[in-house]
Structure 1
Amino acid sequence: MEKIEKVLASGNTHVTVNRDPNAKPGALDLKLSAPGVETLEFVSTDLHPRAEQLFSGAWAGCYITVFGKVAALKKVALPSDYSVDIQTSIGSVGGGYCLAAQFTLRVPGLATEVVEGLAQLAHQHCPYSKAVHGNIEVVTNIVTA
């Protein structure tokens, strides 16, 4: 597995579980950009996500769902304010490029070892985590305070 030598761009996503039954989903308008390609537009809107942001968003949405499911299977009650942050970075390595990801799981009130076990199990079941397993560096940080 290659590791990034120089980060070129990163996409960050913060995901929580919405427990409000009256919440209405909103629309997401996208204007895509690519690092180093200043005149390239895929869709014309106000936001400017890069591929790294889209990937981290999709991965985070999947991962938080799987994390909740594995916690339920293990009979671990999660606090209502647990969250997942993912930073996906693209960088150069040698003459090419590679990705890396950093997860931060915030699960207040649970023991660190319990969250670490759930995090590993979630990575084993999440389709995005399985797709990149062994191909990119993935670091997971646990915050329980």
Structure 2
Amino acid sequence: MAIQQSDVLYTAVATAEGGRDGRVATDDGRLDIVVNPPKEMGGSGAGTNPEQLFAAGYSACFQGALGVVARQEGADISGSTVTAKVGIGKNDDGFGIIVEISAAIPNVDAATAKSLVEKAHQVCPYSKATRGDVTVTLA
């Protein structure tokens, strides 16, 4: 089910110059960074890259979804962290990404942590956006 324009709560705007070897800036000036391909992809590795930016956004969003689920379940996730590893590689259509999400939730047992992470994956907007097109593993 797609959201409608009237349901949008916030819209982020970023503009790129030079593609993967250039600059990205947001319209509000809060983010203005140099992007370069990583050395593994023939770049200088001097700046950040789109995969790092995606990993940063996904991990933050997933942590937020984990918080929503934890509140619903009455679980204590204080001190928790979410790490997103984003890989890029060749696929049948050119290039694709793969994601591994891992969460460390110190105040719950392993079964509860697993359940919370699986439920967060169902409600996280990044997880929803990538479903069906990106392989996402949970840990």
Give TM-score, length-normalised by structure 2: 0.69
Unaligned runs of 5+ in 1: 1-26, 40-46
Correspondence for 2:55:
56
In structure 2, the residue corresponding to 1:30 is in which secondary structure? strand
- Is 1:115 paired with 2:118? no
Higher relative contact order (CA 8 A, sep 6+): 1
Please, which of 80, 86, 100 is the counterpart of residue 102 of structure 1?
Answer: 100
Equivalence map 1:58-137=2 (5 Å): 58-78=57-77, 80-94=78-92, 96-137=94-135
Give percent identity, aligned residues only.
27
Q: CA RMSD of the aligned region, Å? A: 2.0
In structure 2, the residue corresponding to 1:31 is in which secondary structure? strand
Tell me how far apart the structure 2 counterparts of residues 38 and 70 of structure 1 sit (CA, whole Å).
40
Distance apart, 1:83 and its partner CA: 0.3
Q: Which amino acid aligns with 1:126?
A: C
Give TM-score, length-normalised by structure 1: 0.66
Correspondence for 1:30:
33
Unaligned runs of 5+ in 2: 1-29
Tell me how far apart the structure 2 counterparts of residues 82 and 63 of structure 1 sit (CA, whole Å).
11
Distance apart, 1:104 and its partner CA: 1.4
Distance apart, 1:115 and its partner CA: 1.1
Q: Deviations over 1:86-143 (max 9, x none)?
A: 11111012461111001111111411111111111111111110000121111111xx
Q: Which has the higher helix share?
A: 2
Aligned length: 107
